[in-house]
Chain A
Amino acid sequence: MIGVTVPTLESARLRLVALDPKYFDAFAAFFASERSRFVGGPATREQAWRFLAGEIGHWTMRGYGRFAVELHDGTFAGVVGAWNPGGWPEPEIGWELMEGHEGKGYATEAALRVREWLYTERGWTTAISLIDPKNYGSKGVAARLGAAYESDWHHERYGRVEIWRHPGPHA
């Protein structure tokens, strides 16, 4: 066995499962589109493959990572979870939705489930999300999760990003 066992998390409308190459075409389509402009795209198919492999390798290296978000009929709706590559200010909770799945509250529902898992199963005591200042959709998700803008941080690719702080486990 190589890598770690990724748990499956359930919420009212969603299943959060291990990322897998079966999602690659949808993942590459997302990274080919303007929808990926706040998260490192648009990017070539080759680069998208490295991103997907990197998501899976993050689990191996950190013991946690991001999940594929599926609707109950198995449709791939997005990628949500914990992210902490080297050089990050703190581990964060991040979310991306695939085309056609925005505006339904899926990012909020999935991130809330992930946050509960991190606090209760993984011993996290706080969490942040890094958000591009112009990504108003993502800021709306953060606000619905009860997070609040805290400060700015500078990333060598994304430039200025906002740090949003989530409520703690006992909030």
Chain B
Amino acid sequence: MTPVVPTEITTERLQLRLLAAADLDSYLAYYTGPRTDGVGGPKPKHVVIERFFAMAGQWVIRGFGRYAIALKGRAIGHAGVLHIDEVYAPEITWTIWDAAETGKGYATEAARAALGGYLAVRPRVLAHIESFNAASIRVAEKIGMRHDMDGPKHPWMKDSLCYVGEAR
């Protein structure tokens, strides 16, 4: 598959790149752990592995997807556009896996870059954020997404807010 968006983006402090097999252990540690209440976790190990492989596979299927957020080569999270089966609209997600790296603006920096890359080639993307996830709501607002009261409901995040990002 030919990429639709850049497969690597360098920001001031971070590198967004494709996921690598070596990133799986950090992703597993995050998604089986306690910091996942905003994203439907924690999940059993086999489910986390399936999701990791599916993230890699989506890049092949669609030419865009979710990047590893690398800090000096080490993956500390992921950010980018998830597009499951056509029933659901494309949605941007961002997550810092490593608790020690939160609160430094890395999610905002990575999500802004991923959003910009995607909206350079596609008109619109959603974000679904749990109403209690204040940190993530701040990220959405900082990167220029707007709250859409009438936006589609997320299939399983029943109290989530819908944000919209649109190409200018």
**What residues make up the interface of A, taking CB atoms closer than 8 Å to B?**
1-3, 21, 24, 28, 45-46, 48-62, 85-87, 155-157
Chain B proximity of A171: nearest CB distance (Å): 30
B3 and A2 within 8 A (CB): yes
B59-67, B95-103, B143-151, B157-165 - the one binding chain A:
B59-67
- Contact string, B28-62, partner A, CB cutoff 8 A, digits 1/0? 10000000000000001110011111111111110
B44 and A53 within 8 A (CB): no
Chain A proximity of B87: nearest CB distance (Å): 7
Chain B residue nearest in CB terms to A60:
B56
Tally inter-chain residue pairs, CB-CB below 8 A: 95
Residue B88 lies at the interface, judged by CB distance under 8 Å to chain A: yes
Q: Are A57 and B56 CB-contacts (below 8 A) given A86-B28, A87-B46, A155-B46? A: yes
A156 and B46 within 8 A (CB): yes
B57 and A57 within 8 A (CB): yes
**What residues make up the interface of B, taking CB atoms closer than 8 Å to A?**
1-3, 7, 18-21, 24, 28, 44-46, 49-61, 63, 84-85, 87-88, 155
Contacts of B84 in A (CB 8 A): 46, 49-50
Contacts of B53 in A (CB 8 A): 53-55, 57-58, 61, 85
Q: Which of A3, A49, A51 is the one whose CB lies under 8 Å from B60?
A: A3
B57 and A53 within 8 A (CB): yes
B46 and A60 within 8 A (CB): no
A85 and B54 within 8 A (CB): no
